[in-house]
Amino acid sequence: MSSASIEEFRQEVRSWIEKTLPPELRVGNRKDLPRDSLRKWLKALAERAWIVPDWPVEYGGAGLDRKHAAIVKAELAAVRAPIVRGFGVSMLGPTLLEFGTDEQKQEFLPPIARNEMSWCQGYSEPGAGSDLASLQTRAVRDGDEYVITGQKIWTTSADTADWIFCLVRTDPDAPKHDGISFILFPMRQPGIEVSPLTLIDGSADFSQVFFDGARAQARHVIGPVNGGWTVAKRLLQHERSTDGGSEGGITGAMKETLVDVVKREVGLENGVLADPAIRQRLAAQELEARALGLTMRRALEEARAGQTARDIGSLGKYRWANMVKGEQDIAMLALGTQGLGWSGPGFKDTQLERTRAWLTTRADSIWGGTNEIQLNVIAKRVLRIPE
């Protein structure tokens, strides 16, 4: 497609966003957004098929090629528009497109694309975190169903999700990587108990989930029975690519720079931006964010062309986790005592949010695969370093 056509499409996207997105929503995915405005915006986004612009039309997407889909994502990020970031869109959907049967795709992808079905991820267990293949949650065949027994932990949004994509052991006698299946089942059924976990920032987005006779349809096994480890690894690659800033994620997240944060939350009157040490750290952080975005964009293109391993997303996840922690450290340094508030008068709402965000990022180098796991993946599968 010609550059003129590309530019015309960009202008079309900008015009639609300008007419459709209300000003009060141009603040990103915050928790305090007006519900009615957010609901209308996400409905409009779904009707345009721009929640998943690169998915095929028959599965609820807009059927756009990579260049046009990237334009949609970039223009939404440029105005800090709220988007659907759930597990269904970023992780399960791409995995189903690759491994699902046509019936499975038709059943699950359109509702995900319309933001009508929410998901949680049943991977980690108390005894199977970094060594995920040691999982012990069992699934026993019973006619056309599987009976699920076991426990998962650190399950994000388990208390609100409609469905779960879950790793279960279907052959306890097979080697640990070979007896695992990837299965989908509804969360609102007998035999499932969810217990929220309160985190250091005061939120309870994670939960423990206990299964005691929960039921899953055999037709909802994705990929071959006992072959779920391959599916599970591919989904993790999608997760790490998303976390690591590929597909424009990191560049979109950095549309509001740390300088903007300091101006808004600290103000200019205390002279923080005049401090050469802080200015140097702000500049270095901004350069690292832009470099990571460009690096991951190049790496993705190479991976799609078969020139590098798909596990390149681990590189982005590793650098992203360290970078986000560093970003919050600088913000807290700039805030000074105003970054130490938890509640009460004397603090702006944005400053209280920043305190909690700083605490939350302490775990960024753990979830989604620890930094140590990412380094192992990079060494083995990207750099091909022999063991």
What does the domain layout of the chain look like in residue ranges? 3-84, 119-226, 244-382
State the Cα–Cα distance between residues 145 and 297, nearest whole angstrom: 42
pLDDT digits over 285-328, tens only?
888 888 887 877 776 676 666 555 566 677 777 888 888 888 88
State the Cα–Cα distance between residues 184 and 122, nearest whole angstrom: 10
* Class of 119-226 in CATH: mainly beta
Give pLDDT, residue 331.
Answer: 81
- Bridge partners for 194 per DSSP: 209
pLDDT digits over 237-296, tens only?
777 665 444 443 443 444 455 666 666 666 555 567 777 888 888 888 888 888 887 877
**Which amino acid does the sequence have at 100?**
G
Whole-structure pTM value = 0.78
Least confident of 19-33, 131-145, 163-177, 236-250: 236-250
The reply to whether 256 belongs to the active site is: no
Query: What count of other Cβ atoms lies within 10 Å of the Cβ of residue 126?
Result: 11
Which CATH number is correct for 3-84, 3.30.565.10, 1.10.3720.10, 1.10.540.10, 3.30.360.10?
1.10.540.10
Mean per-residue pLDDT over the chain, rounded: 85
pLDDT value at 124 more than 90: yes
Give pLDDT, residue 228.
Answer: 97
| Residue 59 vs residues 81, 105, 385: alpha-carbon distances, Å | 24, 7, 40
Give pLDDT, residue 3.
Answer: 58
pLDDT value at 213 more than 50: yes
Q: What is the mean pLDDT of residues 151-172?
A: 96
E strands in the chain:
119-122, 138-142, 145-152, 163-169, 180-186, 192-197, 206-217, 221-222
Q: What is the mean pLDDT of residues 139-158?
A: 96
| Residue 115 vs residues 48, 108, 122, 338: alpha-carbon distances, Å | 12, 11, 20, 38
Q: What is the mean pLDDT of residues 348-376?
A: 81
Q: What is the CA radius of gyration of the chain?
A: 22
pLDDT digits over 14-72, tens only?
999 999 999 999 877 777 789 999 999 999 999 999 999 999 999 999 999 988 998 99
CATH fold of 244-382: Butyryl-CoA Dehydrogenase, subunit A; domain 3 (1.20.140)
State the Cα–Cα distance between residues 335 and 125, nearest whole angstrom: 38
Under the banding of pLDDT at 50, 70 and 90, the label for residue 129 is: confident
pLDDT value at 159 more than 80: yes
Contact 110, 253 (CB under 8 A): no
pLDDT value at 214 more than 90: yes
**Helix, strand or coil, per DSSP, at residue 71:** helix
Cα 121 → chain centroid: 11
- The pair of three-digit structure tokens given for residue 235, joined into one six-digit string: 């989904």
pLDDT value at 347 more than 80: yes
Contact 81, 135 (CB under 8 A): no
Give pLDDT, residue 298.
Answer: 75
pLDDT value at 77 more than 70: yes
Give pLDDT, residue 276.
Answer: 83
Q: Which is the catalytic residue, given 239, 247, 265, 327?
A: 239
